[in-house]
Amino acid sequence: MKPKNEQPIRPTKKQIELLGFISDFINQHGYSPSYREIMSGLNYTSVATVALHVNSLIKRGHLLKRDRSARSLEVVNGSVKPSVLSNQITPDQEKWLIEKVEHAFREVETASEIVPQATNNLHILVAALRVLGLEGASQSFVPRLKRMEEKYGLE
């Protein structure tokens, strides 16, 4: 057990990613993820790898776990805040993002008047999908955007 006045050891990049995943999962679902959900969400190859990282974070003072209780991980307040480490996104994030872009397209398409700024914003969203590595999703919106610009003479 760590003395209360001792600062936790700073987590590694992988551990920061794990803390962020656990924190986001708890915020979204109201309970902590299982080791298998962590494995799947972070593309680890085994549950043992998850257990290794979780146990290390518990020892370092960044996570708490209730004994013999499923889904009992808690991120300790004051832990290093997760930060974006790459442009890789999870399948759930990909789905959410594509739904948001789809919504933006529908908003512009159903507007009573289309202004050039609206299509410029859609171009930015399509480019952002490409930057995030979602080339297929990005390309799926391009014909729709071109049709919209042709229809309203915004090319």
Mean pLDDT confidence for 90-119? 87
Task: Using the predicted structure, report yes or no on whether residue 15 has a pLDDT greater than 70.
Answer: yes
CA-only gyration radius of the chain, Å: 21
pLDDT of residue 106: 92
Q: Give 126's contacts (C-beta < 8 A, 6+ positions apart).
A: 101, 138, 141, 142, 145
The span from the first CA to the last CA of the chain, in angstroms, equals 65
Taking the model in full, what pTM does it have?
0.48
Mean pLDDT confidence for 47-66? 88
pLDDT of residue 151: 81
CA dihedral over 28, 76, 13, 40, signed as positive or negative: negative
pLDDT tens digits, one per residue of 69-91: 778 888 887 554 545 555 677 78
| Cβ pair 96, 134 in contact under 8 A | no
CATH T-level assignment (fold) for domain 13-75: Arc Repressor Mutant, subunit A (1.10.10)
| Cβ pair 16, 80 in contact under 8 A | yes
pLDDT of residue 47: 92
Sequence ranges of the domains in the chain: 13-75, 91-151
| H or E stretch covering 73 | strand 73-75
